[in-house]
């Protein structure tokens, strides 16, 4: 007897042996995975004794839900509003003025759009990098819970207004000085952390240049005391290295370590510019690196040394970043870019394997969020976060190596079913927990009023005439 019985297809378990089960089946009860094995063995107990039976094609792929470790919910409406710019002008002239003009309803519309895109493309858990007060974080968090997704939500913490060596460049609409942002994170923590084991509240300090040493240290201590996480962008561009070297005589990872921002509860995002010593320090401290190859390529930030990090034993996870830097939230597509960037960077075709990329998108992400005891693999006792990928498609034939196809050939829109915490959240490509049409309509409406107010992104940025 099970609530949901998933039968057929190849199961990529991601368990400790990384077993792959052909013609597999999974029984789910009370949100938990009860049994995983061959369908012919489990059928007798579950096939005719389950509330819902999901029958897959023999070549469908069943795998753990994807874990996106770097998401900006508030950037969903900023897609295509900041093309062709490197990071600092991208932030200063486009992204911050738009985000700094948000009204809460518009920020919520952005969060809804991003969440819908993530669920449709196979993400079951994600890490939001930094909400601020003007977005109305409470409503966003409550929406996330109702959508059925699992999320660690970091709130931005800051007490300065610079970015690297550039002082006073943060948009006025995003400035939260003093201890306001810190205190509000604690408030959100007490209100929402641990909600149904699907919502967690993290600290999201802004990048060096916007946070004092004292505040970084205070946050690091508090996060340990509250047993929660911290995530921060680090060493994304060369200007980040110049800042910590000039001001403190330390490389970015050394700086992070010095202020308490290393350890198993810390996710550092990008870490493009890292030396061998810094990579060693990341491995020793069990700090996670969230790799976002599309964003790094588009903003011309550089190519992160991911294959070196993996060799050194760093926990590397995967993220999409946001609407104006990627410009999508499809983690399956991100896997392809992660797999392509290392051979290009190293001129070594063997620089990274698809198995490593699949680990980055699943179990490593779970470890990054400190929930690998709960999700990230398909094994009895874990919560049921499972996606089914439809392989009956031209770009996924012939069926000779499904792992290779998943990373190099599939996109998120090949995911047809999604189960999160034992609940069917998407079936045959339709999200059951959200009104898809309404979210798309709301997104356009909210975006246009935001663009009007900010005076940006009102016309398509193209060199071709539009009549
Ligand atoms: Zn980011």
- CA–centroid distance, residue 322 to ligand 1 (Å): 6
36/179 Cα distance (integer angstroms): 49
Q: 336 falls in which pLDDT band (50, 70, 90)?
A: very high
Q: Which token pair is 397?
A: 């034939």
DSSP state string for 213-272: HHHHHHHHHHHHHHT--EEEEES-SHHHHHHHHHHHS--HHHHHHHTT--STTEEEEE--
pLDDT at 178: 86
What is the CA(130)–ligand 1 centre distance, in A?
A: 9
Percentage, residues of the chain above pLDDT 70:
100
Do 111 and 143 touch, CB atoms closer than 8 A?
yes
Helix/strand/coil for 440: helix
Predicted pLDDT of residue 91: 97
Q: What is the pLDDT of residues 276-322, one digit of tens each?
A: 999 999 999 999 999 999 999 999 999 999 999 999 999 999 999 99
**Spatial distance between the Cα atoms of 364 and 227, rounded to a whole number of angstroms:** 19
- The mean per-residue pLDDT over the stretch 101-120 comes to 98
How many angstroms is it from 294 CA to the middle of ligand 1? Answer: 11
Under a CB-based contact definition with an 8 Å cutoff, are residues 91 and 78 in contact? no
Give backbone dihedrals phi and psi of 106, rounded to 5 degrees, phi first: -75, -40
- Tell me how far the alpha carbon of residue 351 lies from the centroid of ligand 1, in angstroms: 25
Distance 180 CA to ligand 1 centre (A): 22
Mean pLDDT within 136-158 = 98
Architecture in CATH of 66-368: Alpha-Beta Barrel (3.20)
Mean pLDDT confidence for 405-410: 98
CA of 72 to the centre of ligand 1 (A): 6
In the reported structure, the alpha carbon of residue 432 is separated from the centroid of ligand 1 by a whole-number distance in angstroms of 29
- CA of 76 from ligand 1 middle (Å) equals 12
Q: Looking at residues 325-352, what average pLDDT do you find? A: 98
CATH of domain 2-64+390-428: 2.30.40.10
Residues 383-388, mean pLDDT to the nearest whole number: 98
Q: What is the pLDDT of residues 205-263, one digit of tens each?
A: 999 999 999 999 999 999 999 999 999 999 999 999 999 999 999 999 999 999 999 99
Cβ-based neighbour number of residue 372 at 10 Å: 18
Q: Give domain limits for the chain.
A: 2-64+390-428, 66-368
Q: Does pTM top 0.85 for this prediction? A: yes
Residue 231 backbone class (left: φ over 0; alpha: ψ -120 to 50; beta: rest)? beta
pLDDT for position 439: 98
Residue 454 confidence (pLDDT): 97
Residue 1 pLDDT:
82
CA of 71 to the centre of ligand 1 (A): 7
Q: Please provide the average confidence, as pLDDT, over all residues in the chain.
A: 98
Let me know: does 68 contact 60? Beta carbons within 8 Å.
no
pLDDT band of 157, cuts 50, 70, 90:
very high
Cα dihedral sign for 411, 423, 13, 200?
Answer: positive
Distance 73 CA to ligand 1 centre (A): 10
Distance 383 CA to ligand 1 centre (A): 28
Question: 128 CA to middle of ligand 1, Å?
Answer: 9
């Amino acid at each position: 007897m099970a609530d949901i019985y998933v039968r057929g297809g190849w199961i990529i378990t991601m368990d400790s042996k990384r077993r792959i089960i052909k013609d597999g089946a999974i029984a789910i009860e009370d949100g938990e995975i009860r049994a995983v094995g061959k369908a012919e063995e489990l059928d007798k107990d579950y096939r005719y004794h389950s509330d819902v039976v999901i029958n897959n094609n023999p070549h469908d792929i069943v795998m753990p839900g994807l874990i996106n470790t770097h998401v900006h919910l508030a950037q969903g409406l900023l897609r295509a509003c900041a093309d062709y710019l490197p990071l600092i002008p991208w932030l200063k002239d486009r992204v911050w003025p738009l985000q700094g003009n948000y009204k809460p309803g518009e920020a919520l519309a952005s969060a809804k759009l991003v969440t819908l895109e993530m669920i449709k493309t196979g993400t079951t858990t994600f890490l939001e990098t930094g909400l601020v007060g003007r977005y109305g974080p409470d409503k966003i968090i409550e929406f996330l819970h109702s959508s059925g997704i699992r999320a660690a939500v970091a709130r931005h913490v800051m007490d300065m207004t610079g970015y690297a060596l550039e002082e006073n460049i943060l948009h006025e609409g995003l400035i939260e000085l003093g201890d306001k942002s810190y205190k509000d994170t604690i408030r959100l923590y007490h209100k929402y952390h641990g909600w149904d084991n699907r919502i967690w509240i993290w600290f999201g300090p802004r990048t060096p240049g916007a946070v004092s040493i004292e505040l970084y240290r205070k946050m690091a201590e508090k996060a340990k005391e509250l047993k929660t996480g911290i995530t921060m962008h680090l060493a994304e561009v060369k200007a980040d290295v110049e800042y910590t070297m000039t001001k403190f005589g330390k490389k970015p990872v050394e700086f992070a370590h010095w202020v308490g921002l290393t350890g198993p509860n810390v996710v550092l995002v990008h870490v493009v510019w890292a030396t061998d010593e810094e990579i060693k320090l990341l491995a020793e401290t069990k700090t996670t690196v969230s790799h976002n190859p599309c964003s790094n390529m588009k903003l011309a930030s550089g190519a992160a040394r991911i294959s070196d990090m993996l060799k050194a034993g760093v926990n590397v996870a995967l993220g999409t970043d946001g609407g104006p830097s990627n410009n999508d939230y499809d983690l399956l597509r991100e896997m392809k870019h992660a797999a392509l960037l290392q051979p290009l960077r190293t001129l070594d075709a063997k620089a990274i394997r698809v198995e490593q990329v699949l680990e980055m998108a699943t179990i490593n992400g779970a470890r990054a969020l400190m929930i690998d005891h709960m999700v990230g693999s398909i094994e009895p006792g874990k919560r049921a976060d499972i996606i089914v990928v439809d392989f009956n498609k031209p770009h996924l034939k012939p069926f000779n190596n499904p792992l290779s196809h998943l990373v190099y050939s599939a996109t998120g829109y090949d995911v047809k079913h999604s189960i999160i915490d034992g609940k069917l959240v998407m079936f045959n490509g339709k999200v059951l927990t959200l009104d898809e049409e309404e979210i798309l309509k709301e997104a356009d409406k909210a975006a246009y009023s935001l663009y009007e107010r900010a005076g940006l992104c009102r016309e398509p940025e193209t060199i071709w005439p539009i009549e």
